[in-house]
Amino acid sequence: MNKAKILLVFVIAVALIGCASKTIKSGREFDVAKIGNIHKGVTTSDELARLLGQPYIKSVQSADVVAWNYFWKKGTATTTRGADGPVVTSQGAKRTLEVLIRNGVVVDYNYRDDPFWNEQLKGSQ
């Protein structure tokens, strides 16, 4: 059973007994403000590690190319009792930085900061 299903079951169970909130985090936080200090063709992998820390995932693409992936996700679900039954409000954010390194130097990177989960579900009695 994946985390989303487990969270949904938990939230529904809590809704039956009152108000509650549950937060789930995954990945590793990194300082988004420092991304502007990454320079293609200049920043080395050692400098990148000092700047943002170690990535969440490293994957070897070839003998001289490696991809570093920084990833962080946080989701919160809150259950309250509404006039017509339980109300579940969920929201979350996801940050992903993918960095391509060739021969120890950053050649490209892509940063995304997206909401991944924003909804409100209303039950009935």
- With the C-alpha atoms ordered 116, 23, 73, 43, is the resulting torsion angle positive or negative? positive
Q: How many domains are contained in the chain?
A: 1
Residue 97, exposed/middle/buried by CB under 10 A (0-12, 13-18, 19+)? buried
Among candidate residues 44, 13, 38, the one with its CA nearest the CA of residue 5: 13
Total-model pTM: 0.70
Cα–Cα separations (whole angstroms), residue 38 to 56, 72, 75: 17, 19, 28
How confident is the chain (125 residues) per 10-residue block, as mean pLDDT? 59 58 89 97 98 97 97 88 78 94 98 76 57
Domain span holding position 116? 3-122
pLDDT at 23: 86
